[in-house]
Each structure stands twice: as structure tokens, then as C-alpha cells.
Chains A and B, each alone.
Chain A
Amino acid sequence: MSEHFEISRRRRASSPSSAAPLDNDDLLGQILIRLPPGPSTLPRASLVCKRWRRLISDPDFLRSFRTHHRKPPLLGFFYHDRAFDLRRNIDFTPVLDPPDRIPAVRFFEQLVKGSEVIGCRHGRVLVISRKRRRFQVWDPVTAGDLRCVAFPPPFRGKGLAEYVNSMFLWTNDEVFIVDLELAKFKKLPQRISYCSCHPFTSFCAAGKEYDWYIELPPLIPF
């Protein structure tokens, strides 16, 4: 039932006409979540007409789409030179064939030079710009929903690890969790003395509690 998608149940037509299934948001949603999970799929389908666009941008639909395609496709990988260079862009190598091949050049305009990718989750990328002392949560595919957050005050960029769908950052004495999907930072109340941190979980839950996230103020509204 998890993939049973509905935004609003329209009353079904009393006499079935040929277009009836596509006029029903519930049925159209069931069709569209079964499209392949490649990154070109939804941008294309959303151009078919206004109704499709509205349905595809609905967060409930997007959640159903993700749930249906449990395993997201690998789009490519980011990399930088070993010698970290403040003047250089991040490079990207796509691994999919057209039309799902996202060209690297598309990313260059979106990031501050000298940024460093520190983790990818849920189609979001956590980027750090030490020069500007800020994190950027970045959505490369839509190029939208960019969000910049100043370094939490004590953060000097000590280390990071992966934690479920988040990144785990720590400094000399504090630990932060960054939820990339929601672009939110949480500071844990526990303090640490300097060491490396390894998040330890009892199991990998599909759902999470989000309400304990403290939102740090965005530095730059995009």
C-alpha cells in the first residue's frame, strides 16, 4: 500500500471514456511512479501539461516515486584534485547515458570556486566552502532549492561521517547532524573531546523523526 498514491480522489466518471484514467489524479499518479527512476524522467513528464506538472511537483507524489524505486540510480561522481585548490571547481563525471546524462558543465556555474563536496544523500549534495565559511546544501538535478548555512559558530571543519541519510560533522568538542533532504542542521547536546567520531545505530530505519532538528538561519537566501 505504500506506493498507493493519491492527492485527491476525483469522482470517477460514470461512463468510462477513453481518457478517463488519465483524468484521475490517483490513477495518473500510479502510472507516473512506474516510470524509470532516471533523472530525466520527471522533468520530461512534467512538461506534458500543467496538470502533470502540478502532480509531479507534489511532495506526496515525489515520496511515492522514491518509495517505489527503492534503489536510486547512480548518476555519477564528484571529485576534486588531491591538492585542494581554492580556484578550482568541483568536477563531475556522469555515468548514465543520455538523456539521463547530466553534463558536468551544468554544475560549474552553481558553486563557489574552491568548494568541496563532503557528502551526497537523497539527491542532495553537502558542499563546504571554507573560504566563505559556510555549508551549502545543493540539489544539482533541479538546480533549485539551494541553501547556504553559515558554519555553526564553533565549527572549524574537523571531520565528517555518514549517518543514515545525513552527514555527521564534528569539531573539537561538538557534533552536528546535517539532514540533506530537509537541509537542516542539528547540534547534539553531547560534547566530545577531540577524536574521530563514528555514528552507531541499532538499525537503519526507513522513517525518521525530524521534529528534533534545530534550523540554523540561512546565510544567503537563494
Chain B
Amino acid sequence: MAAPESGDGNNGAARMVTLISSDNTRFEVEAAAASLSQTLQLTILDGGGGGGDGIPLPNVDSATLSKVLEYCIKHAPAAANGGAPNATAVDRAELERFDNEFVNIDQSVLYSLIMAAHNLEIEGLQSLVAKKVADMIKGKSPMEIRRTLGFPDPTPEEQAEMNAHMLEYGWAYE
């Protein structure tokens, strides 16, 4: 009879790694979750981050890292199934619900997440946060986009250029 555990050398408890934020907070997380980061994946495969060592992340503060890891932990099981081609509709709906709620956050937190997802190269998170910003500006006029994103008001020169362009593409601004 086959043994019930079908592990590939990964028997027992899941392997844990430690990540250290820029403000020196230590986060212990499953290697599978941290490996969603392309940047960390190789280090982890090489056995880094285990024991008392920890992987320092000088570009990510603890508040942002905790949020990033929340995402990774939630998405790790689906990612382990190769992007979850055989996930059930219920699983997918649950992840979607999580994602929607996950990005329902302050703009400054969102911006920090964008930078962290970029630095850590977490593809799904990069896509999620970019989509969130796109959703914030879609259907808005150029001035509304500037206000939404906190840009300063346009200079008279910029304003003149905008007006000229709007005449040409008037239909797009109705």
C-alpha cells in the first residue's frame, strides 16, 4: 500500500522563511507563499531565509510587507496548482472577492503596494494593483484624472495645450 504522504521530500511541516522589513520587523512565512516573489524565489530555492538568517528587504516597510504577505498567503495554494487551472468556480470567486477587498485601501497604501509588488516581482499582485489604479481613473476627464491622482493643477501653458487637443477630439470628452 502506498504511504498516504505523497510529498516530494517536503515531508512534515511546511518550510518557513523569515523576511526582514526596512524597519527591522521579522516576518515568518511559508516558503511557498514568499516564493510568489520572483525576486525571492531563487534565494529561497538556494536555501536562504531559513533558520535565524532572514532575508532583508530594505525597500519594503513592515506595514507594506504585512499586506504583501497577506496577498501571498492567500494566493500561494492556487499558484502551487500552476495558476489553478483546475480550481473550482467557488475557489476562484473566493479569490476574486479577496482581491477586491484587498485593494480597497488608501491611495498611499496602494502606491506602496505597487512599489513593493514591482520590487519583489509578484506578478499577480502587480496586475491587481495596476488594475485598481486604472479603475480609479477610467471614464474620467483629464482634469478629473489629475485630481484623483493628486497632480498639481496644470500650468496655463499645459491648459492651453489641453484645450487645443480637446477641440480636435471633442467627441471623446462629451
Contacts and interface: CB of A to CB of B under 8 A. Distances in A.
B126 to A, nearest CB: 7
Contacts of B61: 16
Interface in A30-77: 30-32, 34-36, 39-41, 43-50
Contacts of A87: none
B172 A27 contact: no
A30 B130 contact: yes
B162 A45 contact: no
Given A31-B134, A34-B131, A44-B145, A49 B171 contact: no
A35 B137 contact: yes
Interface residues of B, number: 40
Given A16-B59, A49-B158, A43 B169 contact: yes
A101 interface: yes
Given A20-B111, A99-B174, A47 B130 contact: no
Interface residues of A, number: 37
A41 B138 contact: yes
Contact of B172 (A16, A43, A49): A43
A43 to B, nearest CB: 4
A157 interface: no
Contact of B111 (A19, A40, A46, A47): A19
B115 A47 contact: no
Given A31-B133, A48-B146, A103 B171 contact: yes
B97 interface: no
A16 B111 contact: yes
Contact of A34 (B59, B111, B116, B130): B130
A71 to B, nearest CB: 17
Contacts of B111: 16, 18-21
Nearest to A103: B171
7 cross-chain pairs, A with B, having the tightest CB-CB distances, nearest first? A34-B134, A47-B142, A40-B172, A21-B114, A30-B130, A43-B169, A43-B172
Given A31-B134, A49-B158, A99-B139, 17 more contacts: A12-B115, A16-B111, A20-B111, A21-B114, A27-B118, A30-B126, A30-B127, A34-B127, A34-B134, A35-B137, A44-B172, A45-B145, A46-B165, A48-B142, A48-B151, A49-B151, A99-B171
Interface of B: 59, 61, 107-108, 111-112, 114-116, 118-119, 126-127, 130-131, 133-135, 137-142, 145-146, 149-151, 154, 158, 162, 165-166, 168-169, 171-174
